[in-house]
Structure 1
């Protein structure tokens, strides 16, 4: 019964009536417009969907709208449900770091950054020179870049799914691998971020605590804490490192957004700094898209990764040490994916294509019984080669046409041949 429904769906997708195709296009555009309205209403009443599960649900609704007349809805569930479930599992297992209870490193990243930059951390240097008493206009960009991490990687995944499902599968695998490998780092090597180090003294963290009381105070008992005091270049700026990743929203008087970000940060793993997943996933995005986009795209994706690194360091969310490890993790995952692609996936796809080409060249042993001398060669090629899941679809199409067994030729025949070739190679996408 399922094959019958598949054949009927295939036949409907091959509708030759231009009016019917325009109807599907119109329905798709109306659905996309309704989705845009839904997103706008969600933003007005609930704000930006920072929650991963809610964001994926909203994206899948958009994909369903964009798939009308192009792709079966069940494909969205088949592809995105496992992806979402794995990421939800990651959210559930983040507390494993607390259960394992490894000692938290407070000086490891500080020592590396200080060695690399002449005795002081880049966070202290940047806030000393750039930070002002009130957020300037450009801190809006810092806050937007920092928060875009919770949306952009998923939005690009949705775009890839619409354009190239094979690329989407590879991206999803790389995304999940990077996320879980970072979790291993958080668990085995917990690390305090710069803003926490600026609130605590060496005595308070000498036993490598995970969440000492000093982390929750506005400033350290000693000026600057582990990072030392600042000499601000701007008057009235605080003389110590602060966590200012959400401060840009205050410039726009969107205080609710700043409060929501701060609330979400408080519920997260506060010592999950090594490696930086913000830096790792944005660099993964840049490296994955690098061979798939032109010069402008390369510049934008790599610029985004670098902008994220600046935002993380300036706002005291991460050290350079964390960012370098995040970038190294992304590069390692991309290298592993390309090796697997080269070693197994590409050769397997080539074998499938060669087998499909050989089968198409061989053709059937005998011609169909209802063929005639005046039958168009292109039509005969379609009817004799369209076996398997699309064979019934062609007969349904002919029945709907009401004209015997002869099928249209020309452009539509070419479409049918391409659909059959794609189905034989195992590709479920529309050609």
Structure 2
């Protein structure tokens, strides 16, 4: 390295900064970098206002709208803003189509599985993992660490989309691979929900075997207080005094520790409107594992640890809070691995087609 090259970083920043300050104000107004930061600042202000007044954007439409306006602001002076529309509009439209087609499961009315996952978990562990975890850890009032489980559970509605936004800003080709895998995994999970509707642990704890012997989709026992004796999951023998002796749905309890009852109420409202028998496979587990596997070759050791730790934390949260069985999580992880393989194979084949040289012409003598 020459002396001039070594000195260049020390003088480049002040020269550029001073030069920018010396430019006429009319020239500054046409500087797209300035307007980009103004737009980003306005967007951040809107996001903060949204959080303070309306809370987190857990519904997909609002979340995508906030993300896309932020991406449009970040594009000013760097990339054509229309690329946000070109890339994200089809992505959002397909996800909205998914939301509409979820009702197909109700129309088909396939028999709901109530004992399939229970039998699998029992055979694998000798006990029901959800009942065992709640017997060991659940307390009468939510402990401080349930804040973490509640945050992890709700992060599913934001983190995969935020990761997509970051990938889009960094590399649109990588983003397309991520988006394709995201959509493929989502619709494969929809096939599972439709063909094999299954009740989660919290529902099984409220119903006994006789009430669900005809494989109903939404029996009245799902809407009542927990069944005496723990329902299909049996009684829980809690180690902590005051804890209820049955499995409970406790994914929202952590917000009560922070006295954020609006978040807890919003989550419970969303859960009530969702497909209550969409347990097989667990899309919570599937998408978080897909994110971890997709990012694995693209990040260093710390990133690998964080992304994989996030997927494992989600799995623990789902089982402990009675949202999913281990069976559901294993299927979600397997589906994520399958999607990663498919995306990689398709991408390699498309790349090979683009770079394949033209076959040389043969000349007959």
Give the alignment's TM-score, normalised by structure 1: 0.76
Choose from 126, 133, 138 the match for 2:145.
138
Partner of 1:366: none
| Mapping of residues 259-338 of structure 1, within 5 Å | 259-338=265-344
Partner of 2:361: none
Aligned-residue offset at 1:160? 0.5
* Alpha-carbon distance in 2 for matches of 1:254, 1:333: 37
* Alpha-carbon distance in 2 for matches of 1:306, 1:328: 14
Aligned-residue offset at 1:77? 0.3
Partner of 1:65: 73
Determine if the alignment matches structure 1 residue 165 to structure 2 residue 172. Answer: yes
* Alpha-carbon distance in 1 for matches of 2:87, 2:68: 10
Partner of 1:177: 184
| Mapping of residues 110-129 of structure 1, within 5 Å | 110-118=118-126, 120-129=127-136
Determine if the alignment matches structure 1 residue 150 to structure 2 residue 125. Answer: no
* Alpha-carbon distance in 2 for matches of 1:278, 1:36: 28
* Alpha-carbon distance in 2 for matches of 1:77, 1:191: 37
* Alpha-carbon distance in 1 for matches of 2:68, 2:297: 26
Partner of 1:401: none
Tell me, which stretches of 5 or more residues in structure 1 are unaligned? Answer: 1-16, 356-431
Partner of 1:29: 37
Cα deviations by residue, 1:182-230 (Å, 9 ceiling, x for unpaired): 000000001000000000001100110000000011211x310000001
* Alpha-carbon distance in 1 for matches of 2:225, 2:154: 22
RMSD value, Cα: 1.4
* Alpha-carbon distance in 2 for matches of 1:350, 1:44: 51
Cα deviations by residue, 1:345-398 (Å, 9 ceiling, x for unpaired): 2213424xx79xxxxxxxxxxxxxxxxxxxxxxxxxxxxxxxxxxxxxxxxxxx
SS at match of 1:49: coil
Partner of 1:240: 246
SS at match of 1:191: coil
Tell me, which stretches of 5 or more residues in structure 2 are unaligned? Answer: 1-18, 359-365
| Mapping of residues 333-352 of structure 1, within 5 Å | 333-342=339-348, 344-351=349-356
* Alpha-carbon distance in 1 for matches of 2:121, 2:320: 13
Partner of 1:99: 107
* Alpha-carbon distance in 1 for matches of 2:345, 2:176: 16
Which has the greater radius of gyration? 1
* Alpha-carbon distance in 1 for matches of 2:354, 2:238: 60
Partner of 1:7: none
* Alpha-carbon distance in 1 for matches of 2:78, 2:231: 58
* Alpha-carbon distance in 2 for matches of 1:296, 1:349: 34
Choose from 188, 192, 200 the match for 1:193.
200
Partner of 1:78: 86
Give the alignment's TM-score, normalised by structure 2: 0.89
User: How many residues in Structure 1 have an aligned counterpart in Structure 2?
Assistant: 334
